[in-house]
Amino acid sequence: MNKVRIFDTTLRDGEQSPGVSLNVQEKLEIARQLARLNVDAIEAGFPIASTGDAQAVQMVAEHIRGPAICALARSRQKDIEVAWEAVRRAERPVIHTFLATSDIHLTHKLRLSREQALEQAVEGVKKARGFTPEVEFSAEDATRSDWEFLSKVYAAVIKAGATVLNVPDTVGYTTPGEMDELIRYLLENTAGIENVVLSVHCHNDLGLAVANTLAAIGAGAGQVECTINGIGERAGNASLEEIVMTLYVRQDRLKAETGINFQEIYRSSRLVSQLSGMLVQANKAVVGQNAFAHESGIHQDGVLKERLTYEIMDARLIGREEKVLVLGKHSGRHAFARKLGELGYHLSGEELDKAFERFKQLADQKKEVTEADIEAIVSDELSRSEELYRLDFVHVCCGNNILPTATVRLIRDNGEVLEGVATGVGPVDAAYKAIGNILGLSSDLVNYTLQSITGGSEALGEVIVRLAGDEHSFVGKGSSQDVVIASVTAYLSAINKMSSNQMRRNPQKDFQEKQSWE
């Protein structure tokens, strides 16, 4: 059984998803969960892209133990120096440097000859190797590169000190058969490749990212680069949970395994979805809401008689079993804190008090409080850690023959009371317009999603919104049994993030270059 390393790039390539912007604390929270998931490496960001990204990589490097922590850098001296400064305090620091090798990129983007590209790639690896013994080199757009030249570049960077070679299918162009042939060609024709790890990084433009990744594993790749829920540039990246569970379910065929802690898969999916604002589609493999649901009577009958008739995985294996909590309205704070610890949450005294109060309120109103409810409450409370504006009161009046009207009262952190009234096409729209009138917002609501955490009319509703500010977008989330309150809470969460960002913003404009390299 071959061991395949899992290189998670949720915090780097995943954050490059259009509209996704994670702050330092959110990145650190995801990194902690990735460590619990037991990934082999975490690509924490692209430090040269911005001061904020560099700070996030540094925080992850300083606080996360277990996985290798990786920083991305172009094959340029300044990039590599900034990447090293961000990642140097990691337990196992890795610099991941890259340069395009396809003629399309060399001619139209980089304006480099093949010889110049080869020289720059080698110099970049040498520079990185001067800082750390673990250096990964990626040949951007490898699957559209000339194979002979690609092999020549890889051989040169191995000689320069690279320890991992990455083969990116940057634009999701290749097919499984081609990927198999390319990996075998490189293993057979690249000098020194037996001394390094061969990795693949596949994008999903044609829906083949996971298939291409599995083909590469079958051909001999020792590492795969992927993201939670498959998020990433354009159509996304290869999905970690799909790769891992395919290798587990089809060990008989693929003869490969990972070190992933299966029990943390579903929790990781939920956390990334909540913090990124990207909902998981219902029919998503492994972690989608319908992945273990059975509507057909024939299927239901089969599953009741023998689960294996229609389920090839056990939902409990990936942490999906929803157990009704023993905790209820008579439960104490200590028992609640212990349950949170079992779920992987560690809250401070004030945060715990607020979450416990929310739990007690829900327990008084809802017959069954599930782990999903608890996770929604905790995530909601954690998102309020930097509240400039707090909801004090919201009242809406609406009906089929009534103009929807909302009255909203906010409390600022300095105690100032702000109140406004507005009408809209519905109660949520009216409430949002009332808040906009109060604060004089210069932002646009670009996305609004509402989903039920659990079933039933008493279920918590979870709302995720994305606001477009002057330069960035900001994601907010809120949960409540009242969808209007959940909507207002989510809106204020995004506004608070936007306001905090504006107050922290450095007068000297950051160098922003989110390189869409893969």
51-63 and 24-37 helices cross at what angle (nearest 10)?
A: 40
Q: Does the structure show a pLDDT above 50 at 511?
A: no
CA dihedral 211, 217, 219, 220 (to 10 degrees): 160
For the whole model, what pTM was predicted?
0.78
> Which segment of 21-25, 239-243, 429-433 scores lowest on mean pLDDT?
21-25
> Is residue 272 located within the same domain as residue 411?
no
- Residues 313, 364 within the same domain: no
Averaged pLDDT, 457-468: 82
What pLDDT is stored for residue 296 in this prediction? 64
Structure tokens, 277: 């604002």
Answer whether residue 401 is part of any domain: yes
Q: What is the mean pLDDT of residues 186-206?
A: 98
Contacts with 512 (C-beta within 8 Å, 6 or more apart), sequence order = 49, 50, 471
Percentage above 90 pLDDT, the chain: 61
| pLDDT tens, position by position, 80-137 | 999 999 999 999 999 999 999 999 999 999 999 999 999 999 999 999 999 999 999 9
Give the mean model confidence (pLDDT) for residues 351-360: 84
Instruction: Name which residue leads in pLDDT, 35 or 22.
Output: 35
pLDDT band at residue 298 under the 50/70/90 scheme: confident
**Between 10 and 389, where is the model more confident?**
10
CA distance linking residue 106 with residue 121, whole number of Å: 13
Residue 398 CA to residue 320 CA, distance in Å, equals 38
Span 40-61, pLDDT tens digits: 999 999 999 999 899 999 999 9
DSSP 510: P
As a whole number, mean pLDDT of residues 245-257 equals 96
Residue 369 shares a structural domain with residue 457: no
- DSSP for 388-422 reads SEEEEEEEEEEETTEEEEEEEEEEETTS-EEEEEE
The residue range of the domain holding 309 is 291-319
Whether 148 maps to a domain, the answer reads: yes
> Phi and psi (nearest 5°) for 19?
90, -10
Q: Has residue 442 been placed in a domain?
A: yes
CA distance 39 to 256: 15
Does residue 509 fall inside a structural domain? no
CATH number of the domain that residue 87 is part of: 3.20.20.70
Question: For residue 281, is it within any domain?
Answer: no
Same domain as 270, residue 252: yes
pLDDT, average across residues 237-259: 97
Query: What pLDDT sits at residue 359?
Result: 84
**What number is the average pLDDT over the span 255-263?**
97
172: three-class secondary structure by DSSP:
coil
Average pLDDT, the chain: 88
Q: Are residues 434 and 455 in the same domain?
A: yes
CATH of the domain at 424: 3.30.160.270
**Measured between alpha carbons, how far is 191 from 159 in angstroms, rounded to an integer?**
9
The domain boundary, picked from 209, 244, 276, lies at: 276
Q: Which has more pLDDT, 477 or 491?
A: 491
- pLDDT confidence tier of residue 467, bands split at 50, 70 and 90: confident
Concatenate the DSSP letters of all residues of 94-111 into one string: EEEEEEE-SHHHIIIII-
Q: Would the pLDDT of 290 be above 90?
A: no
pLDDT mean over 426-445: 87
Same domain (yes/no): 268, 119: yes
Do 58 and 87 share a domain, yes or no? yes
Do residues 373 and 433 both lie within one domain?
no
Structural domains of the chain, count: 4
Same domain? 150 vs 233: yes
Q: Is residue 32 part of a domain?
A: yes
| Of 173 and 305, more confident | 173
Q: What are the φ/ψ torsions at residue 75 (nearest 5 degrees)?
A: -80, 60
In this model, does residue 297 exceed pLDDT 80? no
> Has residue 325 been placed in a domain?
no
pLDDT value, residue 517: 41
Question: Which segment of 39-48, 156-165, 317-326, 478-487 scores lowest on mean pLDDT?
Answer: 317-326
Q: Specify whether 308 is located in the same domain as 412.
A: no
250 and 358 assigned to the same domain? no
pLDDT in tens, 162-189: 999 999 999 999 999 999 999 999 999 9
Extended beta strands in 170-296, E state: 197-202, 223-226, 256-257
- Residue whose entry in the numeric block shows the structure tokens 């750390």: 132
- pLDDT attached to residue 386: 61
3-state secondary structure at position 321: coil
Mean pLDDT in residue range 293-301: 67
pLDDT at residue 516, as a whole number: 41
Question: How many whole angstroms separate alpha carbon 184 and alpha carbon 174?
Answer: 15
192 and 99 in one domain? yes
pLDDT band per the 50, 70, 90 thresholds, residue 326: low
pLDDT tens digits for 361-417? 887 876 667 777 787 777 776 666 567 898 999 999 999 889 999 999 999 988 899
Structure tokens at 483: 């969808």
